Chain A
Amino acid sequence: MKTNTVPKPSVSEVLENKDDYKYGFTTDIESDVFLKGLDENVIRAISQKKNEPPFMLEFRLKAYRKWLTMKEPAWPNVKYPPIDYQNISYYAAPKARKKLESLDEVDPEILKTFEKLGIPLEEQKRLSNVAVDAVFDSVSVATTHKKKLMEHGIIFCPISEAVQEYPELVEEYLGTVVPVGDNFFAALNSAVFTDGSFVYIPPDTVSPMELSTYFRINTEETGQFERTLIICAENSYVSYLEGCTAPRFDTNQLHAAVVELVTLDNAEIKYSTVQNWYAGDKETGKGGIYNFVTKRGKCLGKNSKISWTQVETGSAITWKYPSCILMGDNSSGEFYSVALTNGHMQADTGTKMIHIGRNTRYSIISKGISADYSSNSYRGLVKVNKSAANARNYTQCDSMLVGEKCSAHTFPYIESANSTARLEHEASTSKISEEQLFYLESRGISRENAITAVISGFCKEVFKQLPMEFAVEAQKLLTLKLEDSVG
């Protein structure tokens, strides 16, 4: 799979050949796209393009060399044709001036795209209580409310900028939660990631607003490899949201992201995702995003907490296990998930939690909804180390089937090396009931609203965790996706 199908160009050739690919754009902007293919020169070119300090290039090369020795995981319960990693371009960026001083310099087409997606970035229109980092293909195009956050000492910027401005922080934490060789996709990401968000919350600070990153894939033959790093120092708190979409293409795009979270003593990070990548054609299954994501948080400090909430409604294939490593004593983790699959989507998602510190707690609420021909798997690993006295873990895993041809699977794994651990697991599978829908409809409630109500009811414990606007969006999204399937 990793055979070279293109002759190896030199670093300068990679940089010069950038204009050869002009097709496949949905937002019509001038882009900077690398030739397809991957080798050390491409990685050097990315690093050069981003003007990175030497430690970053070393990080990337180490990851790349590791990646060459690794195999794509075969254990997930998903099927797809082999990916030709040489047939992907590893860098695509809207052509822009050297450095954007203000939003006025962002291509208006891009601003329009984000506005269409409901994320206005311009000063007058933008949301007052949410700071947004907008990532378009491989680069961040705008970050709002940066100054206001800086007044609190909060750093919120594209990771490419953080590498320049705060290299010590990046060097100290990057790759400490997800090591470069953690898994095949994480290694690839570490080698070629181009942008993403960086957040640093200083000690004793509660972020005055929600922070969010919005990802948009626009170019057809580019992979998106974003990297997010959030560090929450002692006694601090931040709530972070992530949203994503991509246009409709007949081909599959690879999205291999890595997210790393670190909490120090008494700190808390709440990380919410509403994922709506293009899922492929509902009837034929053609096209759609391959979403292979590694998300992991490390509760490094005592009494610290990391909470993952995800609403996964898109992607042709989802492979994602937001996880927590509970190192600090009394630290805790949470995982709230709604995964909806319809059409020909395949999702293998869940969580992994590793109890290391004493008195660590973790709770998991997973709701899977499968419709049409889709396949929806929950995979969870609970691992209790010898050191983790009094670990407690609670897992609740419910599946709902819509129609006859879909499937739901549950794969719970438990490894406990400490006899004081208390681990509970509950699971259920049910069908969306025509009787429930009819009952609501017979009270004058439209079918659409009835579906929303029943599904929201099923997902209630998860939606409750989302910030208000996101919860409403998520409910609408699920209804939209299920309307045809329920019939």
Chain B
Amino acid sequence: MLEIKDLHAGFEGTEIVKGISLTVNKGEIHAIMGPNGSGKSTLSKILAGHPSYEAMGGTVTFMGKDLLELSPDQRALEGIFLGFQYPVEVPGVNNAEFLRMAYNAKMARQGKEELDPLDFDDILDEKMKLVGMDPKYKDRSLNEGFSGGEKKKNEILQMAVLQPKLAILDETDSGLDIDALRVVANGVNKLVNQDNAIILITHYQRLLEYVKPHYVHVLSKGKIVKSGDKSLALDLEAQGYDWLTPIPK
């Protein structure tokens, strides 16, 4: 599904991702862990097409297409979803209306009929129940004044509405209380099936108790320094990252 080959990428000429290769197949859950500033969010934004970041080398193929050639909205319509580490607030844009716009963009792409606010409301109600969100958040402005945890839940709600093929969740578990964490994990588990895949970026073993990754990768200084199964996450929890980081020469 997703094939990253020797990807170099960064920001205003500074290389932050320094040669990453990663293959994600349908039905797989990958966890990416690693110290602060190691390039996890940068990698996720490069995949989603953030205009401030540029690919400097390597290739990314998604469902047979050259991902780096596509605009952010095209990538989303191909089935990529990024759950942001820091979701932005968009004042004046109604949350439900925003979700309907995104949903209808997907419908239009698939040649299906777009939904009017009433019909969409039914879908939205169901999804909100799924992620345990109060219907009152429908009428709020997108993320405006949401608490940290509410913003994260709203990301999961968007994922549930859009049902992407590949979801990249950047620290969606950070800042969540125990109940919310369970809800998020639940949402993630409901999303995974043989046809789609998830990349979880996280600092905590906690989430991985609910969502079982098939692979765990450790990112350090822009490189994947170790990959393993879920036991790697336990080792990291116990020992930290020091033993993995390459000793400077």
Binding site for B on A (CB under 8 A): 433-436, 438-447, 449-450, 453-454, 456-461
**Nearest residue in B to A367 (C-beta to C-beta)?**
B92
Chain A contacts of B91 at CB under 8 A?
457-458
Q: Which residue of B76, B92, B142 contacts A442 across the interface (Cβ within 8 Å)?
A: B76
Can you name 18 A-B residue pairings with CB atoms under 8 Å? A435-B88, A438-B48, A438-B50, A439-B87, A441-B71, A441-B72, A442-B81, A442-B82, A443-B73, A443-B76, A443-B81, A444-B77, A445-B105, A446-B105, A447-B73, A457-B91, A457-B141, A461-B92
How many whole Å from B68's CB to the nearest CB in chain A? 15
Say whether A457 contacts B93, CB under 8 Å: yes
Chain A contacts of B73 at CB under 8 A?
441-447, 450
Which of A438, A442, A460 has most B Cβ within 10 Å? A442
Q: Which residue of A434, A440, A445 contacts B52 across the interface (Cβ within 8 Å)?
A: A434
Closest 6 CB pairs of A and B: A457-B92, A444-B76, A443-B102, A460-B92, A441-B72, A457-B93
Tally chain B residues at the interface, Cβ within 8 Å: 30
Say whether A442 contacts B90, CB under 8 Å: no
Known: A434-B51, A439-B87, A442-B48. A453 touches B93 (CB 8 A): yes
Known: A434-B51, A449-B101, A453-B98. A442 touches B93 (CB 8 A): no
How many whole Å from B97's CB to the nearest CB in chain A? 8
Q: Which residue of A443, A445, A450, A459 contacts B92 across the interface (Cβ within 8 Å)?
A: A459
How many whole Å from A478's CB to the nearest CB in chain B? 13
Chain A contacts of B93 at CB under 8 A?
440, 453-454, 456-457
Binding site for A on B (CB under 8 A): 48-52, 71-73, 75-77, 81-82, 84, 87-88, 90-93, 98, 101-102, 105-106, 109, 141-142, 158, 162
Chain B contacts of A459 at CB under 8 A?
92
In the assembled complex, the Cα of A445 lies from the Cα of B106 at a distance in Å of 9
Q: Which residue of B76, B84, B87, B92 contacts A441 across the interface (Cβ within 8 Å)?
A: B76
Q: Which residue of B88, B105, B106 contacts A439 across the interface (Cβ within 8 Å)?
A: B88
Chain B contacts of A440 at CB under 8 A?
90, 93, 98, 101-102
Known: A434-B51, A438-B72, A453-B98. A444 touches B105 (CB 8 A): yes
Which of B49, B73, B109 has most A Cβ within 10 Å? B73
How many whole Å from B99's CB to the nearest CB in chain A? 8
- Given contacts A444-B77, A457-B142, 20 further A-B pairs with CB under 8 A are A438-B72, A439-B84, A439-B88, A440-B102, A441-B49, A441-B71, A441-B72, A442-B49, A442-B82, A443-B102, A443-B158, A444-B73, A444-B106, A445-B101, A445-B105, A453-B93, A456-B92, A457-B92, A457-B141, A459-B92
In the assembled complex, the Cα of A435 lies from the Cα of B73 at a distance in Å of 14
In the assembled complex, the Cα of A460 lies from the Cα of B142 at a distance in Å of 13
